[in-house]
Amino acid sequence: MKNPRWNPYLVGALIGLLSILTFSLANKPLGMSTGLAQASGACALPILGADKVAANTYWAKTAVPTWDYSTLFLVGTVLGALLSALLCGTFKVSADSAVWTESFGPSKPKRLIAAFLGGVVILYGARLADGCTSGHGISGCLQLAVSGWLFFLVMFASGILTAKLLYGRSRQA
């Protein structure tokens, strides 16, 4: 099996070109978390009922649960990653990662619960900030938006601190 990874500078440049295309041809920036918030509205339908979802200010105005550019972009992202993984033969059902195992051992349930909680936290943060690593980090920063750079710096600082607290022990090894 060939090394599937491309040079990170090449990949970065291609993502930059991709955002030039989406900005100019579709008048859309790259972004992820709005689409996920829209999807969360769709998932809330059977739990909360259609009336409650429709009456919610956020789902009614900002993140309407529907198939539109943002949600279809997510579908494309899944397909693209799947295609890449299949093409280079790296598709593998697994939950192992070296850094996690060094600190917390090989327990799968432990890892999955932590990932679930991390998912809850990350999307709440992304919606509060109105963007994620794509919407603020790439699209915002490349337009020299103050919100983008503020997000990037604070996220990075918070990540460093959290990594120290969570995985600090494994660094001594």
Site for another protein in 63-122 (CB under 8 A): 63, 67-70, 72-85, 90-95, 97-100, 108, 111-122
Q: Using CA atoms, how far apart are residues 148 and 141, in angstroms rounded to an integer?
A: 5
- Cβ-based nearer residue to another protein, 50 or 67: 67
- Per the listing, tokens 């939950």 go with 95
# residues near another protein by CB under 8 A? 127
- Fill in the DSSP letter of residue 168: G
Tokens for 87, please give them: 């093409």
Which of 49, 50, 89, 158 binds another protein (CB under 8 A)? It is 158
Minimum Å gap between C-beta 1 and another protein is 14
Q: How many other C-beta atoms lie within 10 A of the C-beta of residue 100?
A: 19
Q: How remote is the C-alpha of 138 from its chain's centroid?
A: 12
50: contact with another protein by CB under 8 A: no
Q: How many other C-beta atoms lie within 10 A of the C-beta of residue 2?
A: 6
Q: Using CA atoms, how far apart are residues 143 and 130, in angstroms rounded to an integer?
A: 16
1: contact with another protein by CB under 8 A: no
Q: Give the three-class secondary structure for 5.
A: coil
- Per the listing, tokens 């750079």 go with 149
Which of 57, 105, 172, 173 binds another protein (CB under 8 A)? It is 57
14-33 residues near another protein, rule: CB under 8 A? 14-30, 32-33
Minimum Å gap between C-beta 78 and another protein is 5
Residues 74/35, Cβ–Cβ less than 8 Å:
yes
Minimum Å gap between C-beta 142 and another protein is 4
- Cβ-based nearer residue to another protein, 50 or 85: 85
- Cβ-based nearer residue to another protein, 51 or 123: 123
